[in-house]
Amino acid sequence: LRLRSGIAEAVKVALIKDADFFDFIMTNADKLANRDMDIMERLIYRCSQLHLEHIAGSGDPFEMGSSRPLDFGHWAAHKLEHLTNYSLRHGEAVAIGIALDTTYSYLTGQLLQSQWQRVLSTLNKLGFTLYVSALTEQLDQLDHPHCLFRGLTEFREHLGGKLTITLLEGIGQGIEVHQVDLSLYRDAILMLQDWELLH
């Protein structure tokens, strides 16, 4: 399970930083799902490199500001862990968060449909479920503690300052945004529900 958590984090960093690394993960998804240790070693090495490059080059090594691109997919992941009483492990929640923010990026016109499909298919091949019922519970009651969208407010409060989340404007290209369209996020959740039924 820790390996799966690490793989989800590797997908995250590849999507926001390195298209070639994402291609490597996509090509080797079956081997990673079957715990091929040679491929896993290469994954860990590249993931570590990208994290180090980010820390060294970001000008904010201790993440004191409100910008944390390496938290891609995490606003929903943290809320889902809480909503499922942590029966959903961190890596599984991150995979769903990545799928959700990737789908939202597609719906805002920043990703091509083919790119969106590649990301979700890769997550599936890696063995991740991309929809759980906690995504849709109390979704229309924004003040309800079990509403997923409360996770956006909690994420902003956790970071301090204004809301800053990372989306995708291409595979390997993260972009920071400071506001979101909740109706599009609802559509993104329904698309994940449909995707899970069909795959």
For the stretch 17-48, pLDDT in tens is 999 999 999 999 999 999 999 999 999 999 99
Question: Can you give the CATH number for the domain in which 91 is found?
Answer: 1.20.1090.10
What pLDDT digit, counting tens, does each position of 53-112 carry?
Answer: 877 776 555 454 444 556 899 899 999 999 999 999 999 999 999 999 999 999 999 999
**Six token digits for residue 122:** 């890769």
Q: What's the predicted TM-score (pTM) here? A: 0.91
Asked if residues 32 and 119 have their Cβ atoms less than 8 Å apart, the reply is: no
- The mean of the pLDDT values for the chain is 90
By residue range, what is the domain housing residue 38? 2-198
Amino acid identity of 102? T
Q: What is the mean pLDDT of residues 1-14?
A: 87
Range with the lowest mean pLDDT among 5-9, 30-34, 127-131? 5-9
What total of structural domains would you count in the chain?
1
Report how far residue 165's alpha carbon sits from residue 180's, in angstroms, rounded to the nearest whole number.
9
